[in-house]
Amino acid sequence: MNNSLKTVLAVVLLALVALLVNSLVSRPPTKTALVESLLVNGSFDGSVEPWRTHSSWPVAWTDAEGDGSLQVTATSDRNAAGRGVLSQCVNLVAGQRFDLGGRFKQDERSTQAGGGRLRITWFDRQGCAGSGSIDTAFASPGQLPGWQELRVDTVTAPAFAKSARVSVTQSIDGAGDYIGYWDDLYLRPAGGQ
């Protein structure tokens, strides 16, 4: 085989590889990827924006866990306590069904046990105005090492709902510190509807 033939063959081979890679890369996204979360920046990429944080406990963005997450440090001198730490409001349509979930990790430096809740409150006006009704469904982390998946049962926007607030509370069981990380929070149309 002479050199020019080798070159031609190499070029053809490269072109075939390029075609193959291109077809793999440009493949349409899976159904899961098409179903987008209504929540903005649920993965806390680079910041907490546009989430609202509201607690007298330290609540802050951190990259301590590799990629961005929300770190909450619950503290108590004595009694068990719980506080709302994070929320985001989304406008939606009554009757829509959603999957709500996220991930949580408790920091092993915690000196006290604790927990939390991921839940949703429905409002009868857009922008989480008007009167609100807390859904009875919620997800709570267990006393487990490492990241754990939180998955609320499928929730349905009531007939009056025009918006909803997804919120996170964190709690501590007694005196000490309970440090937790929240990440990858989502509110997605259920079943890819």
Q: Work out the number of other CB atoms within 10 angstroms of the CB of residue 13.
A: 10
Q: Report how many residues bind Ca ion under the rule CB under 5 A.
A: 6
Binding flag, residue 149, Ca ion (CB under 5 A): no
Q: Quick check: 141 binds Ca ion (CB under 5 A)? A: no
Q: Which of 41, 43, 55, 112 binds Ca ion (CB under 5 A)?
A: 43
Q: Looking at 48-56, 60-68, 72-80, 126-134, which segment touches Ca ion (CB under 5 A)?
A: 60-68
| Alpha-carbon distance values, 104 to 47, 145, 147, 151, 185 (Å) | 17, 10, 6, 11, 9
* 117-136: contacts with Ca ion (CB under 5 A): none
**Of 78, 23, 4, which is closest to residue 12 (Cα–Cα)?**
4
Which is closer to Ca ion, CB of 76 or CB of 106? 106
What's the first-to-final CA gap in the chain, in angstroms? 58
Q: What amino acid is encoded at 36 in this protein?
A: E
Contacting residue, 42, 48, 51, 68, with Ca ion by CB under 5 A: 68
- The residue range among 40-48, 51-59, 92-100, 153-161 that interacts with Ca ion, by the rule CB under 5 A, is 40-48
> Is the CB of residue 188 less than 8 Å from the CB of residue 37?
yes
Position 67 contacts Ca ion (CB under 5 A): yes
Q: Is 55 in the site for Ca ion (CB under 5 A)?
A: no
Q: Contact between 99 and Ca ion (CB under 5 A)?
A: no
Give every CB contact of residue 37 below 8 A, 6+ residues apart in sequence.
185, 186, 187, 188
Of 36-44, 100-108, 123-131, 132-140, the segment contacting Ca ion by CB under 5 A is 36-44
Q: Would you count residue 183 as binding Ca ion (CB under 5 A)?
A: yes
- Please report whether residue 101 would count as binding Ca ion according to CB under 5 A: no
Nearer to Ca ion, 44 or 138 (CB): 44
Looking at residue 11, what DSSP letter applies?
H
3-state helix, strand, coil in the chain (%, to 5): 15, 50, 35
Q: Strand pairing partners for 170?
A: 83, 116
Residue 68 or residue 141: which is nearer to Ca ion going by CB? Answer: 68
* Sign for the pseudo-dihedral over CA of 42, 48, 53, 55: positive
Min separation Cβ 19 and Ca ion, Å: 35
Q: Which residues bind Ca ion (CB under 5 A)?
A: 43-44, 67-69, 183
